[in-house]
Amino acid sequence: MKASQFFISTLKEAPAEAELPSHKLMLRAGLIKRVASGLYTWMPMGLRVARKVEAVVREEMNRAGAVEMLMPIVQPAELWQESGRWEFYGKELLRLQDRHERDFCFAPTCEEVITDIVRSEVRSYKQLPLNFYHIQTKFRDEVRPRFGVMRAREFVMKDAYSFHSDYDSLKQTYQDMYDAYCRIFDRLGLDYRPVAADTGSIGGTGSHEFQVLADSGEDIIAYSDASDYAANVELAATLPLSGQRAAATQSLAKVATPNIKTIAALVDFLAVPITQTLKSIVVEGEAEGELVLLLLRGDHQFNDIKAEKLPGVKAPLTMAGAAAIQAAFGANGGSLGPVGFKGRVYADFATEKGADWVIGANEDDCHYTGFNFGRDAAEPTFADLRNVEAGDPSPCGSGSLKLARGIEVGHVFQLRQKYAEAMKATFLDQNGKSQIMEMGCYGIGITRIVAAAIEQNNDERGIVWTDTMAPFTVVIVPMNYRKSDTVKAAADDLYAALQALGVDVLLDDRDERAGVLLNDSELLGIPHRIVIGDRALKEGMVEYQNRRASSAENVAIDAVAAQIQ
């Protein structure tokens, strides 16, 4: 590619709204452009990177025996009603109506559509197992889109869904996907960790997240310093604690009758002082089970709220003892959440400062999230995590726990029969008997990976790509391309030679000052740079510099291609 025919648009300074290095660099390098909150255009340079990620994912999915297809982005409400998620998914599901006033949604994930396909296509155990995948745009109306494409509303996901006649077969494919994910993230050169994850209402151990390690990550993982044990903090919190904290947590459990897991998840986010008035609680879906209100602070104002008084709550509300909670978690948090409760809950608090908290509990993955729309509340930090602390004994019995932050780039999940049962995806077994299918799902955030990779690989000069992800592997920077015939001829020849070798090469023939070209090549993170100038050329030499190296070296122009390969 010649730069003059391509499109390069770099910025000296990142727009003020960007906080993370990856977000800043993606904007500065012109990889993405913001259209609206959580909505980005992938500019030509950025799209090349996303496509490279996609290619690796596609290759490894094919190698692992998954079959590519493509499902629609807009999906009919009927399928989502059948699975129950039309009601339960909550506000992340963007709903719309067509001209006939029929309900649709933008797919945030595709379990319903794929289950519908499989139940109509598959009759016999002989057709199973099956594993379908697609790479496609998803939409989630995230309450707080941020960090550019890291948490966008529209993003590209690879999602795969496997169907099985029995659990053993599901476990086999799950392992195959797990292994494929390791190959993918290895090939992309990411520093990552697979961690065991919570399976929520489904139970069992069948879920792992793939977390790219980064201090800016929104997730927290707990791992043993002496064994392979690694789990996301929500799961780690479900395991027995020791000592005083365990005793306090136990006594809390008695008061509130939830399990420890729920308590731990509840306190995750609301680690800011609560001096708020509860405005309303809205429960979507059929209320089942118990809704528990947990308060930590003495200065809260909703001590006297009774379940019956809360609009929209059908399930009984239980007040937990504030003293016990305080003993367990300290004085600075509070939360509200459902226990053994199916459905989605929103609680809306007005703070004294007028800021709003909304707490959502998602039945689907049993994760609790707290969102603060105010200006100035602190983000949760390690210190706010009262459920698992660094130095706790590892639940595996070996070593003690360390905590690290991570970016979730992939997730594999044994769904078991959740959707197949709700949507009646059955097959005839060897005895001609109708059975419900087993199912797994496997996601990778294609576009999030681009940001996560930059988060791990950047320096003061810009992005530092691996060869696998780089938009171009090599950049040729000719000095005076338009003025020196010898430089032009040498640059054109080398460009042609590298192209003939199948190398992804960019010839930066733009009519710009040398400093601009050199700075751009570093900002763009192109792994190999060849500078061609009159003086060295007289000796048959060019300057070669690896993006990770601190200085350039002179290399014979005939030998430089070999240097790169």
Task: Note the residues at the interface with Mg ion (CB under 5 A).
Answer: 408, 411
The distance of closest approach from Cβ of residue 26 to ligand ATP in the complex, given in angstroms and rounded to an integer, is 13
The distance of closest approach from Cβ of residue 349 to ligand ATP in the complex, given in angstroms and rounded to an integer, is 22
Which helix H or strand E contains 56, and what residues bound it? helix 44-63
Task: Give the integer Cα–Cα distance in Å for 495 and 506.
Answer: 8
Task: Give the integer Cα–Cα distance in Å for 482 and 429.
Answer: 73
The distance of closest approach from Cβ of residue 451 to ligand ATP in the complex, given in angstroms and rounded to an integer, is 8
Instruction: Decide: 145 and 450 in contact? Cβ < 8 Å.
Output: no
CA angle 130, 135, 140 (to 5 degrees): 110
Q: How many CA atoms lie within 13 A of 496 on its CB side?
A: 6
The distance of closest approach from Cβ of residue 187 to ligand ATP in the complex, given in angstroms and rounded to an integer, is 17
DSSP type of residue 129: -
Q: Which residue is nearest to Mg ion (CB)?
A: 411
Question: Is residue 148 at the binding interface for ligand ATP, with CB under 6 A as the rule?
Answer: no
Q: Give the range of 320-328, 336-344, 407-415, 474-482 binding ligand ATP by CB under 6 A.
A: 407-415
Task: Give the integer Cα–Cα distance in Å for 565 and 560.
Answer: 9
Nearer to ligand ATP, 159 or 509 (CB): 159
DSSP type of residue 391: T
Nearest to 195 by CA among 433, 408, 351: 408
Q: Give the range of 221-229, 302-310, 442-450, 492-500 binding ligand ATP by CB under 6 A.
A: 442-450
Of 51-110, binders to ligand ATP (CB under 6 A) are 109
Q: Which of 155, 229, 472, 544 binds ligand ATP (CB under 6 A)?
A: 155
| Maximum C-alpha span of the chain | 88
Q: How many CA atoms lie within 13 A of 557 on its CB side?
A: 24
Task: Give the integer Cα–Cα distance in Å for 478 and 482.
Answer: 9
Nearer to ligand ATP, 220 or 325 (CB): 220
Question: Is residue 152 at the binding interface for ligand ATP, with CB under 6 A as the rule?
Answer: yes
Question: Is residue 560 at the binding interface for ligand ATP, with CB under 6 A as the rule?
Answer: no
Q: Give the range of 68-76, 126-134, 149-157, 388-396 binding ligand ATP by CB under 6 A.
A: 149-157
Report the DSSP pairing between strands 154-164 and 130-139: antiparallel
b/e code 252-274 from CB counts within 10 Å (16+ = b): bbebbebebbbbbbbbbbbbbbb
Q: From residue 2, how far is each of 462, 474, 506, 516, 524 by CA, in Å?
A: 21, 12, 6, 16, 15
The distance of closest approach from Cβ of residue 107 to Mg ion in the complex, given in angstroms and rounded to an integer, is 14
Question: Is residue 443 at the binding interface for ligand ATP, with CB under 6 A as the rule?
Answer: yes
Question: Is residue 142 at the binding interface for ligand ATP, with CB under 6 A as the rule?
Answer: yes
Question: Is residue 409 at the binding interface for ligand ATP, with CB under 6 A as the rule?
Answer: yes
Cβ count within 10 A of residue 304: 7
Among Mg ion, ligand ATP, none, the one that 445 touches (CB under a kind-dependent 5 to 8 A) is ligand ATP
Nearer to ligand ATP, 57 or 476 (CB): 57
The distance of closest approach from Cβ of residue 408 to ligand ATP in the complex, given in angstroms and rounded to an integer, is 4
Question: Is residue 140 at the binding interface for ligand ATP, with CB under 6 A as the rule?
Answer: yes
Instruction: Decide: 258 and 235 in contact? Cβ < 8 Å.
Output: no
Site map 32..51 versus ligand ATP, x via CB under 6 A: --------------------
Nearest to 174 by CA among 146, 202, 201: 202
Of 164-223, binders to ligand ATP (CB under 6 A) are none
- Is the peptide bond between 395 and the residue preceding it cis, with omega within 30 degrees of 0? no
Among Mg ion, ligand ATP, none, the one that 409 touches (CB under a kind-dependent 5 to 8 A) is ligand ATP
Q: Which of 157, 236, 347, 557 binds ligand ATP (CB under 6 A)?
A: 157
Q: Which residue is nearest to ligand ATP (CB)?
A: 445
Beta bridge pairs of residue 159: 134, 443
Task: Give the integer Cα–Cα distance in Å for 182 and 261.
Answer: 28
Beta bridge pairs of residue 543: 531, 554
Among Mg ion, ligand ATP, none, the one that 344 touches (CB under a kind-dependent 5 to 8 A) is none
The distance of closest approach from Cβ of residue 448 to ligand ATP in the complex, given in angstroms and rounded to an integer, is 4
Instruction: Decide: 478 and 491 in contact? Cβ < 8 Å.
Output: yes
Of 334-373, binders to ligand ATP (CB under 6 A) are none
Among Mg ion, ligand ATP, none, the one that 448 touches (CB under a kind-dependent 5 to 8 A) is ligand ATP
The distance of closest approach from Cβ of residue 413 to Mg ion in the complex, given in angstroms and rounded to an integer, is 8
The distance of closest approach from Cβ of residue 92 to ligand ATP in the complex, given in angstroms and rounded to an integer, is 8
Q: From residue 128, how far is each of 117, 170, 421, 423 by CA, in Å?
A: 14, 10, 17, 18
Query: What's the residue count for the chain?
Result: 565
Nearer to ligand ATP, 231 or 325 (CB): 231
Among ligand ATP, Mg ion, none, the one that 142 touches (CB under a kind-dependent 5 to 8 A) is ligand ATP
Provide the token pair at 326: 């305080």
Q: Which of 52, 151, 386, 528 binds ligand ATP (CB under 6 A)?
A: 151
Task: Give the integer Cα–Cα distance in Å for 325 and 334.
Answer: 9
Q: Which of 445, 471, 525, 533 binds ligand ATP (CB under 6 A)?
A: 445
Q: Which of 60, 116, 408, 543 binds ligand ATP (CB under 6 A)?
A: 408
Q: What are the residues binding ligand ATP (CB under 6 A)?
A: 109, 140, 142, 151-152, 155, 157, 408-411, 443, 445, 447-448
